Amino acid sequence: MDKLEKSIHRSNNLGWMFLRGIAYGIGWFIGGALLATIAIYFLSWTPENNALGRFVHDIIRLIQQ
């Protein structure tokens, strides 16, 4: 019973909720950065004769400067 009370107290603690929110935000940021990196990597293989390919290659050149 004591373990249950500690668990309930910890889950309702404002500091614990704040830390969970920070971890959640960092996770979203890292996940978004990884997805953007993977998308740019695969889109860099598109030929430059279409608009999407030119756009991606311009972004890659801008990042590499």
Q: What residues does each domain of the chain span?
A: 2-64
What is the per-residue pLDDT for 27? Answer: 97
Mean per-residue pLDDT, 23-52: 86
Q: CA 61 from chain center: how many Å?
A: 23
d(CA 43, CA 18): 37
Q: DSSP secondary structure string, 9-65?
A: HHHH-HHHHHHHHHHHHHHHHHHHHHHHHHHHHHHTTS-TTSHHHHHHHHHHHHHH-
- How would residue 16 be classed by pLDDT, with cut points 50, 70 and 90? confident
Mean pLDDT of 25-53: 85
* Predicted TM-score of the model (pTM): 0.56
